[in-house]
Amino acid sequence: MTEKIVVENLYKIFGAHPEKGLKLYQEGFSKDDIMEKTKQTIGIADVSFTVNEGEILVIMGLSGSGKSTLVRCINRLIEPSYGKIFLDGVDITGLSEEELRKLRQERFGMVFQHFALFPHRTVLKNVEYGLEIQKVPPPVRREKAMQSLEQVGLKGWEDSYPEQLSGGMQQRVGLARALALDPDIMLMDEAFSALDPLIRRDMQDELLDLQERVQKTIIFISHDLDEALKLGDRIILMKDGKIVQEGAAEDILTNPADEYVEKFVEDVDISKMITAETVMKNPIQVASFAHDGPKAALWKMKQAGISSIFVQHKSRLQGLVSADDAVQALKEGVKDLTGILQTDITTVLPDTPASELFPLLAESSPVAVVNAEGRLKGVIVKGTLLAALSEGVSNNGTS
């Protein structure tokens, strides 16, 4: 994984004398104290993180946490006070106005919370805007704009004005406008927050679809944890201009760094977030349909301390053999597992949420977790699921 963007010790202090604010901050004063003493507002403080190429990094926090300031510092719409930002190894905080403009034209696409479409321009003219200011010849920019409109499913709307479109469609235009430039980095500032929940979910799905195809490096700002969990390969949680926690969705849910994060994740239904993959155990022993007879199967069960064993053939799960049946078969002198193989076993995919596992486990235990190719990935028994959930709940509900 290549590091696309590296942010090092970034500060944004609003006010005429950021050095005063910085000094007090480093002496350990709080944001409010600094405001009172120096009239300087800490926007973001000592923020360092990296964004890997091709990932979606979600920066999350409540309003006032500095997340929007942070994303604007990355393309210097807001000039950071201190610190460095490296893009492909080049520090962009020192670029001249001209170089910065070029960088914004070629590398960054930005999508805004309230769409920020130009009302006096048609949809097509909006999408063309970035190319137009780069003086791309009209036929070329028209073609590119049409392509990106097609990507977001708005073909046929190019001559409409933004006002004639619904919110969801307007944001698609916003997305197309950013994509038309074919930037390698997309900055999305609460891009879906102004949309109603149903449309928002659709747009999230579409963004993920789109990302499969275009593979951009995306920095996505959100105040919505569900959105962050759905979109983010990694999540950064901010409070008062600082990073409180950084990690994959699961880390944040199951190991909240402090009370603030706990509060944040409280509302999330843990049984929806925990999937079969997280609670399954590796199968310690698996019987091979081709080589193992009842005796070998029994021996493997004894080794693993289990009362039934899954049977695979050529890496595909075939079924289950119980210890009782194996003993019976051994007594009868049968040499293979064909007769005692139970094939009507319950299987689930790795991303099945825990909430759906309960009823399955009530009917039959164990449940096999198999991937789309039918390969056995893990085993879930009632005990493992309950243990995982209680762990999640106790981590979550103690504030």
Partner 1 sequence: MEHLRIPIGRVIELSIDLFTEHFSFITIAFSQVTENGIKYLVKAMMFFPPWTLILIFTGLAWYLSRRRGIALFALIGLALIWNMGLWAPTMSTIALVFISTLMAILIGMPLGIVSALSQAAYRIIMPILDVMQTMPAFVYLIPAIPLFGLGPVGAIFSTVIFAMPPAIRLTCLGIRQVPVELIEAADAFGSTKSQKLFKLQLPMATPTIMAGINQTVMLALSMVVIAAMIGAKGLGGEVWKAIQRLQPDRGFESGIAIVIIAMIFDRIMQRIGNKKEETETR
Q: Is 373 in the site for partner 1 (CB under 8 A)?
A: no
Choice between 114 and 272, CB closer to partner 1: 114
Rule CB under 8 A: is residue 133 a binding residue for partner 1? Answer: yes
Question: How close are the terminal C-alpha atoms of the chain, in Å?
Answer: 37
140 binds partner 1 (CB under 8 A): no
Q: Which of 6, 35, 62, 77 binds partner 1 (CB under 8 A)?
A: 77
Q: How far is the CB of 134 from partner 1 (least distance, A)?
A: 8
Q: Is 380 in the site for partner 1 (CB under 8 A)?
A: no
How far apart CA 86 and CA 93 sit, in angstroms, is 8
- The answer to whether residue 43 forms part of the interface with partner 1 (CB under 8 A) is no
Query: What span, in angstroms and rounded, lies between the C-alpha atoms of 120 and 135?
Result: 20
- Nearest residue (CB) to partner 1, 127 versus 253: 127
Does position 103 interact with partner 1 (CB under 8 A)? The reply is yes
Q: Give the range of 106-114, 137-145, 250-258, 299-307 binding partner 1 by CB under 8 A.
A: 106-114
DSSP state of 281: B
219 burial type by CB count under 10 A (0-12 exposed, 13-18 middle, 19+ buried): buried
If 0-12 CB within 10 Å is exposed, 13-18 middle and 19+ buried, where does residue 185 land?
Answer: buried
Choice between 129 and 220, CB closer to partner 1: 129
Q: Binding partner 1 by CB under 8 A: which of 11, 25, 129, 289?
A: 129
Q: Rounded to whole angstroms, how far apart are CA atoms 100 and 284?
A: 56
248: number of CA atoms within 13 Å, CB side? 5
| Binding mask of the shown chain, residues 225 to 264, with x at each position contacting partner 1 by CB under 8 A | ----------------------------------------
HEC assignment per residue over 302-368 = HHHCCCEEEEEECCEEEEEEEHHHHHHHHHHCCCCCHHHCECCCCEECCCCEHHHHHHHHHHCCCEE
Among 46, 53, 88, 132, binds partner 1 (CB under 8 A): 132
Element (H, E) at 283: none
Taking CB under 8 A as the rule, does residue 163 contact partner 1? Answer: yes
Residues forming contacts to partner 1 in the complex (CB under 8 A) are 72, 75, 77, 100-106, 108, 110, 112-114, 116, 118-120, 129-130, 132-134, 161, 163-164, 177, 181, 187
